[in-house]
Structure 1
Amino acid sequence: MAPTARSEDIELKRDSVLKSLCAYLKEDSNSIIKEYLNVRSEEAESAIPQTTMGLYVIRNEGAQEEDGPEDVGVIIEGVELLSNLRSISSGWAMLFGLIYTLNLSYPQELKFTFEFLQKVLMNLDGNKLSPKIQSLKIKMLQ
């Protein structure tokens, strides 16, 4: 079933919110999300074994951001665990779930973003917040 324009719009908004959260928390989403053009998919394949944890995104050459990716996948410890996900936000959710389920440490360069997702949005162990996340939570509730 092909995605509708409405669902693509929602996915684009979710992707933008995740990237904006990283920017607000002064963390670099590019450290975990690697984007490639489909004409260079072999470059993505060769980078997989060197990737500790992350997402790969393959876009069609000449496609606009709002067109969505051709493929999104999850990599942990150099192994492609998931592929053919529909958006960056879906990949991020799957990565978060795998990290939490497998009891892995969050990537240090995005520790506040993952803490926010876990403790504020998912309300898992939300009693113990770092000062940075506590401040953001208070701002959200005002």
Structure 2
Amino acid sequence: YPIILFSLYSRTLNPEDIAEKTMGIYIVRAEGHGSDGRFADVSVELEGAVVLCNLQSVSHACVMLYGLIYELNLSYPKSLKRTFEVYQKILMDLDSTKLSPKVQTLKLKLLQ
């Protein structure tokens, strides 16, 4: 299954849009709005089903997705493993003493 963390749509979600995706955050742009940051919907999808919808913001959706992964004891998708490791260990400062070499390098570059 394809793994895409963020998907932006200009229309409402159809079941076909998410059926083959393992996990992600889906953003539906509000009609008539350019780049003012407003969205008609922000949703979280797991295993081909929308599990949370009408969330307040993209950052709220990220936190909710991370919480679902933790609570449901899901493993990180292989293609997004480093992304979630950065969320967990750098941004959220959870278990930040055990970093993979790639994430350690990123953290050092961010701190420079």
Q: TM-score range by the shorter chain?
A: 0.7 to 0.9
1:101 paired to 2:71: yes
Show structure 1 runs of 4+ deviating over 4 A: none
What value does the CA root-mean-square deviation take over the aligned residues?
A: 1.9
How far is 1:52 from its partner? 1.3
Shift of 1:62: 4.2
Question: Are 2:7 and 1:34 equivalent residues in the alignment?
Answer: yes
For structure 1, which runs of at least 5 residues remain unmatched after alignment? 1-29
Q: How does 1:1-142 map to 2 (within 5 A)?
A: 31-38=4-11, 41-42=12-13, 44-142=14-112
Query: Which letter does structure 1 place at the counterpart of 2:8?
Result: E
Q: TM-score, normalised by structure 2?
A: 0.83
Retained in 1: the 8 A contact 2:21–2:48? yes
- Size of the alignment, in residue pairs? 110
Q: Helix, strand or coil for the counterpart of 1:66?
A: coil
8 A Cα contact 2:4 2:23, kept in partner = no
1:111 aligns to what SS in structure 2? helix
Partners of 2:98 and 2:37 in 1: how far apart?
Answer: 39
Distance 1:137 1:31, change over 3 A: same
TM-score by length of 1: 0.67
Whose helix proportion is higher, 1 or 2?
1
Equivalent position SS for 1:71? strand
Q: Which has the higher contact order (CA 8 A, sep 6+)?
A: 1
Q: Equivalent pairs: percent with the same residue?
A: 48
Deviating more after overlay: 61-70 vs 77-86: 61-70
Whole-angstrom CA distance in 2 between matches of 1:129 and 1:67: 33
Contact (CA 8 Å) 1:48, 1:79: kept in 2 or not? yes
